[in-house]
């Protein structure tokens, strides 16, 4: 069994595509990586990334149910779900969230609703959009107040009124 990663770059007048292709054995899968993007016919899309991440974690709730039956308390399972599954699902979300379409956002929200149905997430917990908004706000505050941040020099000079 061999594993390889190749980057495909195609450039033409109407299509520019950069994506990872991962091959394990004879199977290949394409997915969006937060450090890459795909642009086809003047439309940026992260649908491949959303599908890949959700399919990758589709088995996680099942694994957490098994843990619930054997060992873990509900509070511990909720903590694991939030700190592992949601963290992976929304990894680098401020970079790619604005390129998601309504269908992608609905898929992510449906994934969260599945977590609610399995008692791993609560109705009162923030939606995916609210979580991403909080992440964006946190990133901006970090860039704004940390003069050593790699993006800090891109901000305009501060003015005092």
Computed on alpha carbons and rounded to an integer, the radius of gyration of the chain in Å comes to 19
Lowest mean pLDDT among 5-9, 66-70, 72-76, 136-140: 5-9
Per-residue pLDDT averaged across 67-76, rounded? 81
Beta partners for residue 16, in sequence order? 11, 39
Instruction: Write the pLDDT tens digit of every residue in 80-95.
Output: 888 888 888 888 888 8
From the list 38, 39, 30, 119, the residue with the least C-alpha distance to 75 is 119
CB atoms within 10 A of CB 142: 12
**Does the residue 158 lie in any domain?**
no
Q: Which domain holds residue 89?
A: 3-145
**Does the residue 152 lie in any domain?**
no
Q: Give the Cα separation of 51 and 32 in Å (integer).
A: 9
pTM over 0.75: no
**Does the residue 28 lie in any domain?**
yes
**Does the residue 153 lie in any domain?**
no
pLDDT for res 43 = 52
Per-residue pLDDT averaged across 65-85, rounded? 83
Domain count, the chain: 1
Classify 50 as helix, strand or coil: helix
**Does the residue 157 lie in any domain?**
no
Contacts 24+ apart (CB under 8 A), 90-94: 90/128, 90/131, 90/132, 90/135, 91/34, 92/34, 92/35, 93/131, 93/132, 93/135, 94/132, 94/135, 94/136, 94/139
**Does the residue 160 lie in any domain?**
no
Q: Which two tokens stand for residue 157?
A: 């000079």
Dump the DSSP string for 103-153: HHHHHHHHHHHHHHHTTSS-TTSPPHHHHHHHHHHHHHHHHHH-TTSTTGG
pLDDT for res 45 = 65
Beta partners for residue 31, in sequence order? 20
**Does the residue 156 lie in any domain?**
no
**Does the residue 79 lie in any domain?**
yes
Q: Give the Cα separation of 18 and 31 in Å (integer).
A: 10
């Amino acid at each position: 069994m061999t594993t390889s990663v190749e980057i495909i770059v195609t450039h033409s007048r109407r299509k520019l595509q950069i994506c990872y292709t991962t091959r394990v054995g004879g199977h290949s899968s394409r997915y969006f990586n937060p450090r890459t993007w795909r642009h086809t016919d003047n439309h940026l899309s992260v649908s491949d990334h959303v599908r890949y991440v959700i399919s990758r974690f589709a088995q996680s709730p099942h694994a957490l149910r098994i843990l619930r039956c054997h060992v873990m308390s509900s509070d511990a399972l909720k903590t694991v779900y939030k700190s592992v599954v949601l963290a992976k699902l929304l990894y680098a979300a401020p970079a790619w969230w604005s390129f998601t379409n309504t269908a992608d956002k609905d898929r992510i929200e449906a994934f969260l609703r599945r977590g609610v149905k399995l008692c791993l997430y609560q109705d009162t917990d923030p939606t995916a959009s609210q979580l991403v908004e909080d992440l964006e706000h946190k990133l901006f505050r970090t860039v704004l107040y940390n003069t050593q941040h790699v993006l800090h020099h891109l901000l305009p000079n501060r003015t005092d009124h």
